[in-house]
Structure 1
């Protein structure tokens, strides 16, 4: 990393908790590789402090952009001045660029990063039946990108079904030919099983789905990066399933994030 000076451009990631994030390492490695005078730092901000943070960033002339993760993605969209069409459809933002006039422009890259991560590891989603645990911001983004990639069927399991029904109402307007089902906790009968919740980050977390119903010919994928081998992935591995770690989703987003925040420009 270059010496930090008054000319250094600042970037950040905001989360609560923050210890699990790997974006600072990944973005700063990208910055170093491309010989950019910039640095990305972690910001631990609770929900109650999010609005004050955003207002502060508007006035930071040397601030370039913000990566947004759990649990702020669905809240921060309302604090942006402009958001992409994809972000509007998903109802969440995971990347923000500060324009020179202080306006904040948001987008969502989670879904594209997740699907690209699968593809880079030889997993094609076209025509697959997909089980998705969760209906939050990341889950919505992943659901849209999976549908865009041509899956055949989507089953979504969430503790509260109204969130799932809302997701389907938006998805079906764009992808009316994809079968959508409010799923139970059982992933039985699906080709690809995805955990898009935060369950698995803490040792005391419950499992996001019924792992007893997993079978060896299924693929089980995570979005959680720390720990790398979550309880879900460990259980899937024990069942003989092919597993996909959470880190490839982030790795696939790094170039997209840097491009969106105009890092180095």
Structure 2
């Protein structure tokens, strides 16, 4: 299995976790989680599951009936859609409108939660980029972007600007955030990020070599941090170009690393 240390047996007692996405080749959860399971002597394994959007409900409902499957990690593009398939939602899901984990409860129901935002902020702080009191801008109002926007506001950013080409989605997110953090968030009508300390790509742009930049770099002030949530490749075109211009860069893998402890608590892993 991807990321599972050699010699770690998978037996009839092994508990299963799935990572749902489309595409799936870029996911890093198996690489990070399986060694953690082995180190803690937890008899469990994370496996990637490729689910097309049109098949998502069938896959989620089918896995819900797998008795030795304890949960799922959700990635692009299913984080918003999977929320509607959950039986119950944690408080963060209700605020941001998306989920990145499902836990199978004792009665077989799904409990949804979202740790993308807290993981992203934890990674930022760990890298020395505490967002408290700073100005941030984010491109991408989808599942991960919504969670990161809320977490940045909760972490104390002074001002947050958000852009998405889907104006309806953008407007709905800003309205939810404004209701909870009035006066600190605004929508952008173009992806030009000015007067910010932290600029975040929360879109899938960068997963493929020919992808355009999610936002131009020429409008960023010198020294602003450029962060990307794309995990593979580690060095996206955006981060390479930003580093060449002298900007501190923050890699996507830090968001997942920042979620590991939250996952252990949520799934009650000892």
> Cα distance 1:250–1:217, how it changes in 2: closer, same or farther (>3 A)?
same
**1:43 is matched with which residue?**
49
TM-superposed CA distance for 1:161, in Å, is 2.2
Deviations 1:202-260 (A, max 9, x none): 11211100122234311100111111111111111111000001111101111211321
Secondary structure of residue in 1 paired with 2:83: helix
**1:213 is matched with which residue?**
219
Q: Is the 8 A contact 1:96 1:261 kept in 2?
A: no
1:26 to 16, 26, 32: 32
**1:201 is matched with which residue?**
207
Do structure 1's residue 17 and structure 2's residue 18 form an aligned pair? Answer: no
**Alignment partners' CA distance in 2, 1:248 and 1:219:** 14
Secondary structure of residue in 2 paired with 1:25: helix
TM-superposed CA distance for 1:100, in Å, is 1.9
| Unaligned stretches of 5+ residues in structure 2 | none
| Unaligned stretches of 5+ residues in structure 1 | none
**Alignment partners' CA distance in 2, 1:78 and 1:181:** 25
Q: Is the 8 A contact 1:228 1:247 kept in 2?
A: yes
Secondary structure of residue in 1 paired with 2:207: coil
Do structure 1's residue 100 and structure 2's residue 106 form an aligned pair? Answer: yes
Stretch of structure 1 that moved more, 179-188 or 236-245 = 179-188
**1:65 is matched with which residue?**
71
Q: Is the 8 A contact 2:171 2:187 kept in 1?
A: no
**2:146 is matched with which residue?**
140
> Cα distance 1:60–1:179, how it changes in 2: closer, same or farther (>3 A)?
closer
Do structure 1's residue 178 and structure 2's residue 184 form an aligned pair? Answer: yes
Q: Is the 8 A contact 2:116 2:147 kept in 1?
A: yes
Do structure 1's residue 149 and structure 2's residue 186 form an aligned pair? Answer: no
Name which structure has the greater RCO, CA cutoff 8 Å, separation 6+.
1
**1:242 is matched with which residue?**
248
TM-superposed CA distance for 1:136, in Å, is 0.5
**Alignment partners' CA distance in 2, 1:201 and 1:165:** 26
Do structure 1's residue 231 and structure 2's residue 234 form an aligned pair? Answer: no
Secondary structure of residue in 2 paired with 1:155: strand
Structure 2 matches for 1:184-195, cutoff 5 A?
Answer: 184-195=190-201
Secondary structure of residue in 1 paired with 2:70: strand
Structure 2 matches for 1:119-134, cutoff 5 A?
Answer: 119-134=125-140
> Cα distance 1:179–1:83, how it changes in 2: closer, same or farther (>3 A)?
closer
**Alignment partners' CA distance in 2, 1:230 and 1:152:** 28
Q: State TM-score, norm by structure 1.
A: 0.96
> Cα distance 1:183–1:33, how it changes in 2: closer, same or farther (>3 A)?
farther
TM-superposed CA distance for 1:99, in Å, is 1.1
TM-superposed CA distance for 1:167, in Å, is 1.0
**1:252 is matched with which residue?**
258
2:166 to 155, 160, 176: 160
Secondary structure of residue in 2 paired with 1:105: strand
